[in-house]
Homo-oligomer: A and B are copies of this chain.
Amino acid sequence: MKFIEGGVCAAQGFKAAGIHVGVKTKAGWKKDVALIVSDVDCAAAAVFTKNVVKAAPIHVDKKHLENGRAKAVIANSGNANACAPMGEENAIRMCQAAAAAISCDPMDVLVSSTGVIGQTLNVKVIEDGMADLCAALDHSIEASDAAAHAIMTTDTVKKEVAVETTVGGKTVRMGGIAKGSGMIHPNMGTMLCFLTTDCAISPAMIKTALLETVNVSFNRISVDGDTSTNDTCMVLANGMAGNAEITEKGEDYAAFLAALQALCIELAKMMAADGEGAKHLITCSVKGAATEAQAETLAKSVIGSSLTKCAIFGADANWGRVLCAMGYSGEQFDPEKVDVHFTSAAGDVAVCAKGRGLDFDEDLAKKVLSEHDVEINIIMGEGEAACTCWGCDLTYDYVKINGDYRT
C-alpha cells in the first residue's frame, strides 16, 4: 500500500469539479460547490452525525442510500441547510439539478452542505451554476483539488489524500477529500468527507468497511467538543479496478479495509491539525490499558480538555491537567500506576511516574512542546490495550474565528 496523488480522482472512472456559484457571498470568489461523478453506477455507503438536530441533506441522503447505490455527490459550502426554511426541498433540488446535468436518476445523487445554520439556502445560484460545474468535470488531479477547495469553510488547508493497494491481484485505488475545522468531536464533528474507490465491493461490505474505518479515524479526533448537525462521510465504489467483488470478510476485505483506514486516519489527522485556530497537532496515545475502550475514552478526554489544550498552546508542561482530564473521563483506573511523558521531534520528557510529579528539565519540556506535532504519551500499567486519538490546541484564534462566525 502506498500514498499517491489525485484525491477523489485517483481511482479509475471518477471525475470531480469545484467552482464558485454564489452561496458564499463574501471573502472574494471562493469556490462553494463541488461535484463528484462516477462513470458507472457505484456501491455506496455513508455515516452521519449522531446529533438529534440533523441537517436537511442527511434526511435526503438516507432515502437515496436505501438501495446502497449512488453515482454522484453534490456538495456546497457557505450554508449548512440545517434548521433552515425549505431545507429538504432545497436539498432535493440540488440532487435534481445535478441529476439533470449528468443524466442520471436524482435518487442516485447524494447531497451535503456545510456552513451557517438556520438560514435559507440560496439553491437558485446552485441550479444556475450547474452547467458551469458540469463543464468543469474532469479526471485530473486539478479537478479533485478544486472539489477539495469548494467544500472548505474555516479550513486553512485542503484535505486530500489517496492510496493505492492490491486487492485480489488487482491494483485498487481510493482517495478522499474532506473538510472540517471547527465543531470537530468524536462521533463526527462538522466534517464532510467524500471517498471514492475503484474497488469492486458489495453495498453491504462497503458499509461495514466504512463503519470499521470511521470508528478508528474520524471518531478519534476532537477540536472543540461540539458535534455538528451536518457531519457526513460517504464512499462510492465503482468496481472499475476489475477485482473479484468483495462480498464477505476475508483476505481481500482485509486489504481493502487496511487501505481505507490508512486513508481516513491521514484525513482525520489533517482535520485535527487544521482545527480552528490550531497551532499544534496533539497526538494522545494511551498504552497499557485494561481495554481498548478504556484507552480510547481516556485519550479522548485528554484531547478534549480545554485546560490541556490551552497548556499545549502555551507550551506549558502542565501534566496535572492530563491526569485531571483522565480522572473525569468516566473510566475507573488507579492514578497511582500512571506514567506520563511528552514527546516531539525536539525530544522526550517524563513528567509523571506512578501518579506523582517528577523533577524535569523545564527548558527541555518547553522545547518539546513548542514543536508543531506534540505527543502526550500515557502508560496505565493495567494491561496491554492501547489507543491513539488526535486533537489540537486551544488558541486566541479559535475564539476569534468563532466570536464572529456569521458576519
Copy total for this chain: 2
Closest to A224 in B: B306
Q: Which residues 303-332 of A have a CB within 8 angstroms of B?
A: 304-307, 310-311, 313-314, 316-321, 323-329, 331-332
Contacts of A329 in B (CB 8 A): 52
**What 0/1 readout, one digit per residue, does chain A (377-407) give for beta carbons within 8 Å of chain B?**
0000000000000000011101111111111
**What 0/1 readout, one digit per residue, does chain A (263-295) give for beta carbons within 8 Å of chain B?**
000000000000000000000000000000000
| Complex Cα gap A229–B335 (Å) | 12
Q: What is the CB-to-nearest-CB distance from A167 to chain B, in angstroms, rounded to a whole number?
A: 37
For the complex, count residues of A whose C-beta is within 8 A of B: 67
Would A307 and B183 count as touching, CB distance under 8 A?
Answer: yes
| Complex Cα gap A283–B285 (Å) | 37
Q: What is the CB-to-nearest-CB distance from A353 to chain B, in angstroms, rounded to a whole number?
A: 11
Is A226 part of the binding interface, using a Cβ–Cβ cutoff of 8 Å? yes
Contacts of A306 in B (CB 8 A): 224-226, 306, 398, 402
Give A contacts to B, CB under 8 Å.
50-54, 80, 82-85, 116-120, 182-183, 185, 224-229, 304-307, 310-311, 313-314, 316-321, 323-329, 331-333, 335, 352, 355-357, 362, 394-396, 398-407
In the complex, given contacts A224-B306, A307-B402, what are 5 additional A-B residue pairs having Cβ atoms less than 8 angstroms apart? A52-B326, A85-B356, A118-B319, A227-B327, A316-B405
